[in-house]
A and B are shown apart, each in its own frame.
Chain A
């Protein structure tokens, strides 16, 4: 089916997130307003106004009631999804790069960038059921990794936090004590900045994408490297199909080099790989800038991509897709 082209942002896309039911799609971009869309037809539902900087990330609660967004304006905001009102603002001394609700939505993990004399950090905040009781304190602050931490997510049963970033190392932390439990191997691990990290639907394994032109699949509990998918481009975004054994890698050459070459040189394609055989299945073209964000609808029948070009593309798969034999 023809992709649905969604033009609602004026600046490059940064992050995409479906809600659990798969009927809503949240998008973040370098313009200051996260946007909510109908995941089926790409109709725009509304925007969340209040941030004063690029919005890097978001997450939505399991009941689709609350949205959390992290921004370069050094705040993380909680929103009422339906009304679009701000519920609470967490202030940090540096830009917030990633956020994720824990299982049960009572905790959130937030990463902040190194800024001025502050080092990068992972914060755990308690999210109050009633936002009037929300407080600023962190339950836990983890510091240590050098450079930006591009993504931090919860491990099984909220017992661990998995982080990845500029130093190309994936780390697993104890979410109670903040103790470092595991580190990815330098030899087998990524060689360059890890740009993205996404968990499988059941959280048992996760996929990391890196500027070293590869994506790697890891076991969440043991941090065992299971698969490596190599591509020709730096990887900015990764996604895993919840339905089939497919992974999608998005990326492209650095934005600064784009204008100097033929648009085809960029290969701004979302590339599909067989998750098990690690072989390329196909690609979805369309963007004319690097792909910064990818997300699968939880039903696995559509996915969306967001590019440096400011466009979002919503793809409903053709029937052929479900019969791909390799």
Chain B
């Protein structure tokens, strides 16, 4: 810093000698990051790249202040001490330690600069040694070199912030008002990312927006469909708008790997993991939480990967995403993280821990929020060789009262499934048999909304069946289970409300020997797709649970993904690039009729644009349901018009094609006729051209009769 100031002095002195007015502040000439003088650059991303490189120039330099001031004789000793402290944290660059010396007194100035190989190391060093006590008088004050610049720019006097004039934003929900009530989806194939309408009535897609290299790894819709998030080296961005996709906000987070929205899409969580310079250390993890609309960073979390590993007690390597799980329904009042022997619950009002401390739960390995209420379900495995049973607890936030607890014996594993309204919780418990050689599975069913939260135990008819998949009916009271041993497991449906005695779980039916290993309920319930992915090569069965009947069976060969559209009218099945061939997607009606298929090489993603919950009041919805006939008339008429128009267009198109072909045909016949003589000459006068001029129709009829006799004799 001193060097710079001296430099300025010199310049000013020189300028004064030359009679130049030096009232320009040099440091202000350089534009602060993000400033563009109101000129929107179309190579914005490139600009951003440069910015990043510039930052990294000093990003790995820290300034250590409050060092002892020592004379020349002790210089080397001090340098040695500093080097020892700081090389423990990361690799100091060659000539990366510089302790300036006062040129007059030959004493050090009480500070030094250290340059690391990476900004991450520098940051770590700052965190670890800020406040380090060398001795009583010398407590280190460590800062990033870049921060000096930032703090120097702060004006000495407070100036009122400029109030920007209000510019009305676009209607980000315009896509919901589509006249044909269609849904959108995004696909990623090759380098292209494309948003399309699903125009099922015309059995095709209609393009909305397409961009090459839109994202660097993946795209993701926000949970209510307002935004499409893209991921880049510099951070994440969200896109949306009334008619096209404009960039609405950017969130700086270098090398971001994963993103997650809060359920009400108010917040965006970004995650990155950085290789440590010392291979023995764990990766460093950075997690930022942004306000989606303003782009403001609300809270950041930094630490080693170990701290963010899920299942702390079990020592499971790697993180399961999302690290932070959102609770409290759409408002996203809380978010929580699993830690070692605790669950850290934060509230979004202050972005700090509830009651300033984590929820202590010894050996907790898993937890999950109710989708609607601030209730956490957590699981603690068995301890002490079975002396202390495993347990599942329901904890109410923010009070942290335990609502219900259930002890479970000889448990090997446990999984929790919430019903989408938070009405029920199913706990799938794998238990050891008496010999401890194998396991069998049972379910503990919690009725959250009933008094005292009754628990019911459900065991399958055949206790030894393996559970392959489990899924609640969205907003409903039924669930489906795939159980049994490969290759042909059974599928069973249960209801939490039996007709005779309410409050008992009852089996509805069991479908024997299905080629299925995944369950996909329609978002509206009632319909379900039983899918045989992977080993089953894409078998699909569309099942109506109300009627307990199969509507259709089909196959999308090699299908890897199945997704219902948000309205439950259509199903998309896709083959992504995990397979080399067949890449693309099929669109089916809810009852299993193939509407159309599109092939795309290097197909990566298919995502329906989610819809927010209905804006209608429950009364209005009920009224619509009651008068459905009246409303549906209009749509049926529209459907008919479309299909009429379509078949009309189709006929027209075919007629055109035939006509066009006829034109070519007559042209060819004419040319053929013209060249006839010459062709004969080429063949030494042989006239026979008959092979080229065929008239097939009569022959055809004759053959049909002949051959049909043959077929009869063949069958005998």
A residues at B contact (CB < 8 Å): 1, 20, 62, 102-104, 106, 156-158, 201-205, 219, 221, 226, 232-233, 242-245, 253, 257, 261-262, 264-267, 275-278, 298, 300-301, 318-319, 322-323
Beyond A104-B684, A158-B682, is A20–B704 a contact (Cβ under 8 Å)? no
Beta-carbon contact of B557 and A322 below 8 Å: no
Give CA–CA (A262, B694) in the complex, Å.
43
State which residues 646-700 of B face A: CB under 8 Å.
654, 657-658, 661, 664, 668, 671-672, 675, 678-679, 682-684, 691-694, 696, 700
Asked whether B654 lies within 8 Å of A257 as measured between CB atoms, the reply is no
B137 / chain A contacts, CB cutoff of 8 Å? none
* 3 A-B pairs closest in CB distance: A204-B668, A104-B682, A202-B692
A257, B580: Cβ atoms closer than 8 Å: yes
Structural contact, A156 and B694, CB atoms closer than 8 A: no
Bound Cα distance from A102 to B679, whole angstroms: 11
Q: Please measure, in the bound complex, the distance between the C-alpha atom of A301 and the C-alpha atom of B700, giving whole angstroms.
A: 10
Closest residue on chain A to residue B681 by CB atoms:
A104
A323 to B581, CA, bound (A): 33
B289 interface contact, C-beta 8 A: no
Q: A156-B675, A257-B580 are in contact. Are A277 and B657 (CB under 8 A)?
A: yes
Residues of A within 8 A of B599 (CB): 232
Q: Is the CB of B537 within 8 A of A262?
A: yes
Tell me the complex Cα distance, A158–B675, Å. 11
Interfacial chain B residues near A104, Cβ < 8 Å:
682-684
Q: With a CB–CB cut-off of 8 A, which chain B residues contact A244?
A: 696
B557: nearest chain-A partner, CB-CB: A264
* Docked-complex contact B654 and A277, CB < 8 angstroms: yes
Contacts A232-B582, A265-B558, A276-B657 given; indicate if A300 touches B696 (C-beta within 8 A).
yes
CB contact between B704 and one of A221, A242, A323 (< 8 Å): that residue: A323
B interface secondary structure, majority = helix
Contact status A322-B700, CB under 8 Å: yes
Q: Does B177 lie at the interface of the complex (its beta carbon under 8 Å from any beta carbon of A)?
A: no
B20 at the binding interface (Cβ < 8 Å): no
Known: A264-B537, A265-B557. Contact between A204 and B711, CB under 8 A? Answer: no
| Other-chain contact of A322, B684, B693, B703 (Cβ < 8 Å) | B703
Contact of B581 among A106, A265, A276 (CB under 8 A): A265
Do B703 and A301 touch (CB < 8 A)? yes
Check if B707 is an interface residue, CB within 8 A of chain A: yes
Give the shortest distance, in Å, between B22 (CB) and chain A (any CB): 61
Q: Quick check: B694 and A242 within 8 Å, CB to CB?
A: yes
Query: Chain A's nearest CB lies how many Å from the CB of B711?
Result: 7
Task: Give the residue name and chain of the A residue nearest to B675 (CB).
Answer: A157
Which listed residue (B558, B668, B682, B707) contacts A205, Cβ 8 A?
Answer: B668
The residue that B692 contacts in the complex, of A1, A201, A264, A322, with Cβ under 8 A, is A201
A-B interface contact total, Cβ < 8 Å? 85
Given A202-B668, A205-B664; 18 other pairs, CB 8 A cutoff: A62-B683, A103-B683, A104-B684, A106-B682, A156-B675, A157-B679, A157-B682, A202-B672, A233-B581, A242-B691, A265-B557, A265-B579, A266-B581, A276-B658, A278-B657, A298-B691, A300-B694, A322-B700
Number of B residues contacting the other chain (C-beta, 8 Å)? 34
B49 to chain A, nearest CB (A): 32
A242 to B664, CA, bound (A): 16
Report the nearest B residue to A103, measured CB to CB.
B682
Contacts of A1 in B (CB 8 A): 714
Q: Does B708 contact A (CB under 8 A)?
A: yes
CA distance in complex: A253, B558 (Å): 15
Please give, as numbers and ranges, the residues of chain B lying within 8 Å of A205 by CB-CB distance. 664, 668
Q: How far is the CA of A104 from the CA of B680 in the complex (A)?
A: 8
Closest-CB distance, A160 to chain B (whole angstroms) = 13
Q: Give chain B interface residues in 574-618, CB to chain A under 8 Å.
A: 579-582, 599
* A20 x B691 contact (CB < 8 A): yes
Chain B positions 536-582 with a Cβ under 8 Å from a chain A Cβ: 537, 557-558, 579-582
Q: Give 5 CB contacts A-B under 8 Å.
A: A103-B682, A219-B664, A221-B671, A257-B581, A300-B696
Residues of A within 8 A of B579 (CB): 261, 265
B582 contacts A265, C-beta separation under 8 Å: yes
Contact yes or no, A253 B580, CB < 8 A = yes
A157 touches B678 (CB 8 A): yes
Q: Per-residue CB proximity of B481-506 to A under 8 Å, as 1/0? A: 00000000000000000000000000
A contact residues around B657 at 8 Å (CB): 276-278
Residues of A within 8 A of B661 (CB): 245, 275-276
Distance in angstroms from A123 CB to nearest chain B CB is 20
CA distance A318 to B661 in the complex (A): 27
CB distance from B676 to the nearest CB of A (A): 10
CB-defined contacts of B582 to chain A, threshold 8 Å: 232, 265
B665 CB, min distance to chain A CBs, angstroms: 8
**Chain A residues with CB under 8 A of B707:** 318-319
Bound Cα distance from A232 to B700, whole angstroms:
32
Across the interface, do B694 and A204 meet the contact criterion of CB distance under 8 Å?
no
With most chain B CB atoms within 10 A of its CB, the pick from A1, A103, A219, A267 is A103
| B204 nearest CB across to chain A (Å) | 14
Contact of A319 with B704 in the complex, beta carbons under 8 Å: yes
Q: Which residues of A contact B581 (CB under 8 A)?
A: 232-233, 253, 257, 261, 265-267
